Structure 1
Amino acid sequence: MTLLPDLHAASAILIALAMFYGFINGRLRVEIVSLLTIGSIALLLYVFPMPGQDKYAGLQLAFEGFGHYALVTICSLMILGRGMVVTGALDPAARLLAQMWRHNKMVAMLVTLVVCLFLSMVINDTPVLVLMIPILVQMAAGDGIPASKTLIPVNAAILIGGMSTTIGTSTNLLVVSIANDLGMRPLSVFEFTPIVLIAMLPALPYIWLVMPRLLPDNTKAVAAESRRFLAKMRIAADSPMRGKTIEEARGRLPEGVEAWLPPSAGGHVHRRVLATGTFEGLQEAARKLSGTLAPNWLVERIRAESGRSGKDLMVAEMIVAPDSRLIGLTPKNAGFEGVAMLGVHHVRQPLRDTRPHTPDAPMKEGDVLLVMGMPEDLRRFAEADGLLQLEGGQEIARSGKAPVAFAIMAGSVGLASVGLVPIAISALAGAILMFATGCVRFERAGRALSGQVIVLVAAAIALGKFMLVSGAAMWLGGILASVLQYLPPAGVLAAIMIFVTTLTNFASNSAAAAVGTPIAFNIAAKLGLPAEPLVLAVLFGCNLCYATPVAYQTNMMILAEGDYKFADYLRSGLPLVAIMVATLSASLVFWYGI
C-alpha cells in the first residue's frame, strides 16, 4: 500500500471535505453546495480522466445520480405520502395520535418511537418513515407540536430497528451476502437482534428525552396566529346531537372552538349552531357534530363539479375591499355564485362596531371571508365582487379517494416488505397509480417534491461512487487496518464501526458495506479473531447514519419537512453514534466471548 493516495483518490477526499465544510458552514444553501460538488467531480474527471477511461466517462459518473433508482424511489415515496395527505387517508390516525399527545406528550413520544422501532425490523425503513411523516406533520399543524423536534428522533428509532434484522435494510442484506461469498456462515433473520436490543436500552432514553431538546423549533410563525372565523354549522337531520343541550354539544368540541345557539333555538340543538374558531378547529367541530360549514346541497354540488372537471377544491381567505359590492350585505342576501362561504372574520371598526357577533351580520370593509371553491371560480368571485384574495390557499382533502390512496400505499409497502419487488419498483408503481386514480393531481406533483432533496441525493450518489472508484475508500480502509492490530477486541470493533460510520455519513452506506466487509475479514484473519463479530461491526456501522442528511435516504426525506440544517443532524446525531458504538462494541464482545 502506498503512503499517499493518488491524484484521483486525494481529489475525492478533498471534494468530500469541501462539501461537508460547505454544509456545516451554512453560508451557501445546501442545494448550491450539492451542485458545486457535482460540477467539481465532472470537471476534474473531464480534465483528468480515470485510468483506462475517456473524459466522458467522468461526466456519466458525476451526473448519473439524477437518473439513479434511489432518487426515483425517494421522489415516488414523496408522491405516495402526498397522496395520503391530500385524500385525508391519515386523518383518523393523526387524530388518534394527536389525542395521545394532548393527553401525555412524553408517553406519546415514547410509544411512537417504540412502535416505529419494531415496525422497521421487518419492514424497510423508508416505507415506515413514509407512513409517519404525514402523521407527524399533521400533528404539528394541529396542536403546535414542532415537527422539527419529532422527525429526527423518530427517524433514529426507525434506523435502529432496521439494523436489527438481516431484512431490515438493503444494506444489511448486502453485507451478509458479501460475507457469505467470503466464507462466513449464513445468518438467520433475527440472528443478531438481541445484540441490537441490548444496545437500544441506553439509546432509547437519549432519543426520547434528550434528542428533542437538541433540535430547533422550526414551527412557522403563521401557525401560531391562525385567524379565527365566525361560522354557522348546519346540523344533519340524523345527527345524534339533534335535541341535545348546547352544553352537551360543547363537550364534544375541539379545544379553541366556542359554540352557541341562535336566539330562536330555545336552548336545544336543532338545525343550526353558531361557532367561532380557526378553520381547522371549525372543520373538526363540524365533523364531531355531524354538520357542515355551508349548506350541504351547495357543498355537494361544488364537489360534484370538482369531480367532473378533475380540478382540486381550495379554501381561500378573501378581504373585502373598499369598493366591494358586498359591503352592507349579509351572507344570506349577497348572492354568492359558484363558491361556498364557510366563515367570516369581522374586523373591528376603529371607533364603534355595533354589528352582532354572528356570521349573518352585514359585511364591512376589511372583513375576511373564508370561501371554498375551485381555483377558477374563486378567482372570478374575487374579481366580480371586489375582493382581494390572500396568498396561498388550502386544498380540501378528497376524502372519497382516501380508501384508494390507503390501498395503493399498503400495496406498495407490502410488495416491498415481503420481497416480491424492490422498493424502487413498488414505489414508482404506487406513484403512477396515485396519478392515475386522481389521488394526486399530476400538475400539483411539485408540491410533493423538494428540489433541495433531489440535488442533495444526486450529489451524494456521485460523491459516493467517486470515493469508491478512485480508490479513496480503499486507501482510508488500509490506513485503518494497519493500526487496528494494537487495539483490544472491543477497540477493534469500535474502530471498525467508527470507520464505516464515517464512510456511511460522508459517502454512502453501500460503498461502506462494499469496502468494509472485506477489510473486516482481513483484519479477523490477521488478528486471529472470529470474522462474524467484525462483519457485524461493519453492518452496524453502515446503519449508524444519524449525523448527516446525506447518510441515508430517510435522513434526506425529513430534511425539508423539518426545515433542518446540516448542523442539526450533527448536534443530535453524534452523541447517538457514540452511544451506539460503545454499547454495540461491548455487546459484541460479550455475545461472542472474545
Structure 2
Amino acid sequence: MLELPSYHAIAAMVLTIMMFVGFVRGRMSIEIVSLLTIAVIAVGLYFFPLEGTRPIDGLALAFGGFGHYALITICALMIMGRGLVVTGALEPAARVLERVFKTNLQIGLLVSLLIAFVLSMFVNNTPVLVLMIPIFAALASRGAMATSKTLMPLNAASLIGGLATTIGTSTNILVVSIAVDLGMREIGVFDFTPIVLLAALFALPYMWLVMPRLLDDNRAEAQAQVRQFHTRLRVGSQSFLAGQELSTVREKLPGGITFHNPPTGPLQPQQRLHISGSHEALEDATRELKGELAPSWVLDRIKRTASARSEDVMVVEMTVTADSRLITRTLPSSGIADLYSVAVLGIHRPELLMGEKNQYSDGGDLRMKEGDVLLVMGLQEDLQTFARADSLLMLEGARELPRRSKALLSAAIMGFAVFTAAIGWFPIAISALAGAILMFVTGCVKFERVGRALSGQVIVLVAASIAIGRVIDESGAAAWLGEALSLGLGYLPPALVIAAIMIFVTFITNFASNATAATVGTPIAFSIAAQLGIPPEPLVLAVLFGCNLCYATPIAYQTNMLIMAEGKYEFSDYIRTGVPLVLIMVVSLSVLLVLWYGL
C-alpha cells in the first residue's frame, strides 16, 4: 500500500507545477518567476524545515544555486565564448561553414547537425556546444540562418549524440555505475549505440526540417535596421585586385557589396573604388580584398594608441545634426582624422540608394548633410570628443572590433579547456573556470566587459532550477513518485513498461536534474524488472535514455541554458519544440528496446 507523501513532498510538487505554469504563461519574466521560486523555498523551509535540518539549512538550500558549480561552469563557458568572439578566433571556421550555407541553407544545417551529433558521441556535449554557439552567431550576422533557428536543433543533436555511448555524458556513466552496484553486468561503450542510431533516423528529419520552422527569427527586427554605407575602398598593394580588371574578378568578390561606377582597365594600388554595403559586408571586403576604407596612417595611429592604452577599438554610428559643421563638407575636406584621430569608414543616406547622384563634389566625394549616418572607428574617448565637437548624435549599437592579435591565444585557451575536459583530465567545471581565468589574465576578455558575456536571466534560472531540484530530491517527492510508478506497471506489456519508465525519468530530468533522475530511476528499474521477471538491462537503458531526453525545458540541462541568451529563447520555445522530440524518441527507443532484447 502506497503511503501518502510528506507535506514537504506535496509542497515541492505543487511548487514545481506552479513554477512551470508561471514560465509557460509568460505573464511574468523568467527572472521574476525564478526569484519568486527561490524566495518561496527560502521562506517555506525557514519556517517549516525539512526533517532533521535547521531553519538556516533551508536558506542554504534555497540560495545555494548561486554558488553551485553548475552555475559557475555555465558562466565560465559564456566568458570563454565571449573571448572567442571578441578576438575573432572563430572567423575562419565561420567562413568555411558560411560557404556550405551559401550553397544551400538546409544542407548547411544538416551538416552542422551531423557534426554536433558525431562529436558528442565521444566528447561531452557541453564543450561541443560552447565551440559551436559563437560560430553560428557569426554565421547569423553574415546572413546565414538566425541563431534562434539553429542553436535549438544543434543542442538537440548534441544531446542525442551524447546518448549513443556510455562516455557521451556523465549521466550515462552514473546510470551504468549504479546498475553495476546493483548486480548487473557492466554495459560496454557501444553496446546500445545501434539502438540510438536507429532512433536518431526518426529524430533527425524533425530536428532538421521541422524544428527551425517552429522557432521565430530573432534577426527580424535587426534586419530591418541594417544600414548600407557608401565608402571608398582603397585597393591594397597585396590585393589580388591590383593589376586586374574588375569585370574579370567579380565572381571572386565577397557578397553583399555593390560597386558604383566601376572603373575600366586594370586596377592600380591605392586606387579608390566607390562601394556600398552593410558594416559586416564592408569588413569582409577589406579582409578578402586586402584594402582599406580610410587612409592607412589614421588606421595605424588608432591601432597604436589602442595598444598603448590597452583599450578596445570601437565602431559606432553617428547622425549628423542640423548645427554640425560637417554639413556640405566632404570627408577629405573635413579634417576629421587630423582633429580627432578617428576614421570615418562610410556614410549612410537613404536617397543614395534611390539613385540620387547630384550630391558629390567635383572630386567624386559625397557632401555630408543633416541626417546622414556616419560609420566611425576609433577609441571611446576620441569618438565622444568628435561627436561633441562636431554636433553628432551617437546611436546605440556600438561594437568593438575583434582583437585579432589575440585570436590564436583565445583559441588555444578554449582548445585546452575543451581537450582536458573531453579526455577526463579535469571536470568541465575546473577546465572551464581555468579557461575563463586565462581569458582574463591574457586580456582576451576584459574585466569591465564581462557583463556582456553573462546573462542575468540564465543566472537566476540556473539558481532556481538547482534549488527546486534539491527540494524535489530531499523532500522525498522523487522517491514517492517512483514508488507510485512501480505499483502500476505490473499489468502492462514490456513496451509500455519501458515507455512509462522512460517518461517518468524524462519528467524528473526536465524539472529536477539528470543525477536525481538517474539515482531514483535506476533502482526502480531493477525492482520492476524483478517483479515482472524480465532482464533488467532494457529497463536500465530506458532510465539512461530518459535521463538524456532533456529538451522540453531550459532548466533540464546546462547546454539548454547556454543557448537561451544567444538564441533569445522563451520558455515556451523549449516546450513547443522539445515535447514532440521527446515523444519521437520515447516511442522509437521503446519499440527498439523491445525488438533488440526480444521482449
Shorter-chain TM-score: which interval? Answer: over 0.9
Residue 453 of structure 1 is aligned with which of 455, 458, 462?
458
Corresponding residue for residue 321 of structure 1: 321
Corresponding residue for residue 40 of structure 1: 40
Question: Greater shift after overlay, 54-63 or 130-139?
Answer: 130-139
- Aligned pair in 2 of structure 1 residues 298, 249: CA closer, same or farther (>3 Å)? farther
Cα deviation code 1:41-62 (max 9, x no counterpart): 1111001011111100111111
Aligned runs of 1:108-257 on 2, under 5 Å?
A: 108-143=108-143, 145-257=145-257
Report how far residue 240 of structure 1 moved. Answer: 2.1
Aligned runs of 1:66-81 on 2, under 5 Å?
A: 66-81=66-81
Report how far residue 222 of structure 1 moved. Answer: 2.4
**Aligned partners of 2:235 and 2:134: how far apart in 1?**
30
Say whether 1:491 aligns with 2:490.
no
Report how far residue 108 of structure 1 moved. Answer: 1.2
Number of residue-to-residue matches in the alignment = 593
Say whether 1:560 aligns with 2:559.
no
Say whether 1:356 aligns with 2:374.
no
Corresponding residue for residue 270 of structure 2: 271
1:38–1:462 Cα contact (<8 Å) kept: yes
Aligned runs of 1:339-418 on 2, under 5 Å?
A: 339-346=342-349, 348=351, 354-356=358-360, 360-418=365-423
Question: Greater shift after overlay, 541-550 or 361-370?
Answer: 361-370
Cα deviation code 1:182-204 (max 9, x no counterpart): 12222222221111111111111
Report how far residue 443 of structure 1 moved. Answer: 0.6
Corresponding residue for residue 435 of structure 2: 430
Report how far residue 557 of structure 1 moved. Answer: 1.1
Report how far residue 360 of structure 1 moved. Answer: 2.3
**Aligned partners of 1:499 and 1:308: how far apart in 2?**
60
**Aligned partners of 2:408 and 2:176: how far apart in 1?**
38
Aligned runs of 1:498-577 on 2, under 5 Å?
A: 498-577=503-582
Corresponding residue for residue 287 of structure 2: 287
**Aligned partners of 2:13 and 2:222: how far apart in 1?**
43
Aligned runs of 1:301-320 on 2, under 5 Å?
A: 301-320=301-320
The SS at the match of 1:171 is helix
Cα deviation code 1:563-588 (max 9, x no counterpart): 11111111111111111111111211
1:250–1:258 Cα contact (<8 Å) kept: no
Report how far residue 144 of structure 1 moved. Answer: 5.4
**Aligned partners of 1:210 and 1:269: how far apart in 2?**
51
**Aligned partners of 1:178 and 1:71: how far apart in 2?**
26
Question: Greater shift after overlay, 401-410 or 182-191?
Answer: 182-191
**Aligned partners of 1:229 and 1:217: how far apart in 2?**
24
Residue 482 of structure 1 is aligned with which of 464, 484, 487?
487
**Aligned partners of 2:262 and 2:557: how far apart in 1?**
57
Gaps of 5+ in 1: none
Question: Greater shift after overlay, 289-298 or 401-410?
Answer: 289-298
Report how far residue 433 of structure 1 moved. Answer: 0.7
Say whether 1:593 aligns with 2:598.
yes
The SS at the match of 1:218 is coil
1:12–1:467 Cα contact (<8 Å) kept: yes
The SS at the match of 1:388 is strand
Report how far residue 162 of structure 1 moved. Answer: 0.6
Q: Aligned Cα RMSD in Å?
A: 1.9
The SS at the match of 2:22 is helix
1:141–1:223 Cα contact (<8 Å) kept: no
**Aligned partners of 1:248 and 1:285: how far apart in 2?**
17
2:98–2:144 Cα contact (<8 Å) kept: no
Question: Greater shift after overlay, 290-299 or 412-421?
Answer: 290-299
Cα deviation code 1:428-480 (max 9, x no counterpart): 00011111111111111111100000000000000001000000000000110
**Aligned partners of 1:592 and 1:197: how far apart in 2?**
16
Question: Greater shift after overlay, 535-544 or 182-191?
Answer: 182-191
Report how far residue 261 of structure 1 moved. Answer: 6.3
1:231–1:293 Cα contact (<8 Å) kept: yes
The SS at the match of 2:489 is helix
Gaps of 5+ in 2: none
The SS at the match of 2:370 is coil
Aligned runs of 1:36-115 on 2, under 5 Å?
A: 36-115=36-115
1:144–1:223 Cα contact (<8 Å) kept: no
**Aligned partners of 2:364 and 2:482: how far apart in 1?**
71
2:241–2:289 Cα contact (<8 Å) kept: yes
Aligned runs of 1:456-475 on 2, under 5 Å?
A: 456-475=461-480
Corresponding residue for residue 259 of structure 1: 259
TM-score (norm 2): 0.96
Opposite residue 467 of structure 1, the aligned amino acid is: I
**Aligned partners of 1:379 and 1:21: how far apart in 2?**
47
Report how far residue 365 of structure 1 moved. Answer: 1.9
Opposite residue 343 of structure 1, the aligned amino acid is: G
TM-score (norm 1): 0.97
Among all aligned residue pairs of Structure 1 and Structure 2, give the percentage whose two residues are the same amino acid: 57
**Aligned partners of 1:521 and 1:438: how far apart in 2?**
52
Opposite residue 342 of structure 2, the aligned amino acid is: V
Question: Greater shift after overlay, 355-364 or 437-446?
Answer: 355-364
2:156–2:207 Cα contact (<8 Å) kept: yes
Report how far residue 262 of structure 1 moved. Answer: 7.7
2:241–2:267 Cα contact (<8 Å) kept: no
1:246–1:261 Cα contact (<8 Å) kept: no
Report how far residue 220 of structure 1 moved. Answer: 4.1
**Aligned partners of 1:224 and 1:245: how far apart in 2?**
34
Corresponding residue for residue 296 of structure 2: 296
**Aligned partners of 2:282 and 2:417: how far apart in 1?**
34
- Aligned pair in 2 of structure 1 residues 322, 315: CA closer, same or farther (>3 Å)? same
Question: Greater shift after overlay, 402-411 or 186-195?
Answer: 186-195
